[in-house]
A and B are shown apart, each in its own frame.
Chain A
Amino acid sequence: MNDPHTGFIVASYALTTLVVGGLVLRAVFDHRALRRAIAQLEARGVRRRSARREKAR
């Protein structure tokens, strides 16, 4: 790509990759952290009422 405006094109795609990548990573890390937090709370014996009912069945 031999164009005088290559820098503008590269910057556009780089920014898009950065933002979309950020959204994906945020979703993945957020999910892991929340699952971990729930596991820790449940390990301490804190359970939702519906989970307790399911366990009792």
Chain B
Amino acid sequence: MPRLTSLWNLANPTRFLGLADRLLPWLAALAAVLLAVGLYLSFFVAPPDYQQGETVRIMFVHVPAAWLGLFMYVMMSASALGTLVWRHPLADVAQKAAAPIGAAFTFVCLVTGSLWGKPMWGTWWVWDARLTSVLVLFLMYLGIIALWRAVDDPARAARAVAVLTLVGVVNIPIIKFSVDWWSTLHQPAAVFRIDGPTIHPSMLWPLLVMAVAFTVLAIALHLAGMRNEILRRRVRSLRLMEAEQLDAGVEPAAGAAR
């Protein structure tokens, strides 16, 4: 079981920090190059849509943001299982670091969708199944972030957040299939379909490059977030140790004063 063993080797925070330090510059550089290529393709290679005109260019940020909103939540759910079932020491670190990133991309998805909807649908917002379920996803992220902040002890917070995350995972298939199950103003899936994408390759390729660029960026941000969370916990435990040492030094004097 070499793969499982290596996953458990990474449970050592110091070893994980070393790996993150080595990987992050490469991931950041790759994300920057992919974003530059993706933006070039989105603005200078992809043609205007025959119906939507230039407005279709909003798709190149809206769709990758939506994809990452879902991706980060699925990752958080896998980490929640890691916390509750396998008790992997870094599972809750991964879960905590993913929440703000997922929330940010879901926020981008909602606002760019609104900015796309106004000129195309004639409205900023409708309470249809797709839009509402994505709003619920955003509220789930905010609830999870709030719960992390509400409980002081990271281990206790991790278990509560893991349960909440797993309850919320039911929303993911609802978001994906909402456009098929209900009559919505939002268009049906155009990329991930059983019968293949319905977008012309001249728009599909820029979209895929942007999606990969956003994904690499999100992975880099997640790794950086995990590294920061490990350091934050280290600062917390060092401060507790310092407080204990100070307490131990003060005790005798306090006793003598009695």
In B218-234, the 8 Å CB interface with A consists of: 221, 224-225, 227-228, 231-232, 234
Asked if B238 contacts A11 (CB within 8 A), the reply is no
- Which of B50-58, B127-135, B156-164 lines the interface with chain A? B50-58
How many residues of A sit at the interface, in one of the four size bands? Answer: 20 to 34
Asked if B237 contacts A8 (CB within 8 A), the reply is no
Does A9 sit at the interface, judged by CB under 8 A?
yes
Does B239 sit at the interface, judged by CB under 8 A?
yes
Bound Cα distance from A1 to B254, whole angstroms:
75
* Neighbour of A12 across the interface among B62, B107, B224, B238, CB < 8 A: B62
A-B contact count (CB 8 A): 90
* Neighbour of B61 across the interface among A16, A27, A28, A46, CB < 8 A: A16
Chain B residues, Cβ within 8 Å of A22: 104
Asked if A34 contacts B242 (CB within 8 A), the reply is no
Beta-carbon contacts of B6-32 to A below 8 Å, as 1s and 0s? 000000001000000000000000000
User: In the complex where A12-B58, A19-B108, A46-B245 touch, is A30 in contact with B237 (Cβ < 8 A)?
Assistant: no
Asked if A37 contacts B235 (CB within 8 A), the reply is yes
* Neighbour of A48 across the interface among B217, B224, B232, B234, CB < 8 A: B234
Asked if B61 contacts A13 (CB within 8 A), the reply is yes
Give chain B's interface secondary structure class: helix
Asked if A34 contacts B232 (CB within 8 A), the reply is yes
* Neighbour of A16 across the interface among B55, B65, B232, B241, CB < 8 A: B65
How many residues of B sit at the interface, in one of the four size bands? Answer: 35 or more
Give chain A's interface secondary structure class: helix
Q: Which residues of A contact B (CB under 8 A)?
A: 1, 3-6, 8-9, 11-13, 15-16, 19-20, 22-24, 26-28, 30-31, 34-35, 37-38, 41-42, 44, 46-48, 50
Q: Which residues of B contact A (CB under 8 A)?
A: 14, 48, 53-55, 57-58, 61-62, 65, 100-101, 104-105, 107-108, 111-112, 115-116, 118-119, 217, 221, 224-225, 227-228, 231-232, 234-235, 237-239, 241-242, 245
Please name 15 further chain A to chain B contacts, defined as beta carbons within 8 Å, in addition to the given A12-B61, A15-B108, A19-B107, sorted by A numbering: A1-B54, A6-B54, A9-B54, A9-B57, A19-B105, A20-B104, A23-B100, A23-B104, A26-B100, A27-B221, A31-B224, A34-B228, A41-B235, A46-B245, A48-B237
